């Protein structure tokens, strides 16, 4: 886990260290969602595509999609 101390500036801004941005693959100007937790803040990219969108972007052949559906249904029924 990466940890880094930083300062909140007068306008309430916090600079996220480049090493953390790189580790998360977040380019500059990425929109984020900030969630208040009981013990701190959670910062996540706003537009995280669902796993189905990422899988669809792989352009798998139809046969692979059919096999994936079978395996997914088998997994769900066994749990």
| Tens digits of pLDDT across the chain (79 residues) | 778 889 999 999 999 988 888 888 888 888 888 999 999 998 888 876 666 666 777 777 766 667 777 777 766 566 5
Distances, alpha carbon 78 to alpha carbons 66, 71, 72, in Å: 19, 11, 10
C-alpha 61/C-alpha 68 separation (Å) is 11
The whole-number pLDDT of residue 71 equals 74
The whole-number pLDDT of residue 79 equals 57
The whole-number pLDDT of residue 66 equals 73
């Amino acid at each position: 886990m990466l940890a880094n101390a930083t300062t909140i500036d007068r306008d309430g801004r916090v600079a996220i260290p480049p090493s953390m941005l790189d580790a998360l693959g977040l380019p500059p100007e990425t929109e984020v969602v900030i969630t208040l937790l009981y013990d701190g803040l959670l910062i996540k990219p706003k537009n995280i595509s669902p796993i189905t969108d990422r899988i669809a972007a792989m352009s798998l052949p139809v046969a692979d999609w059919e096999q994936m559906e079978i395996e997914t249904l088998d997994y769900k029924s066994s749990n």
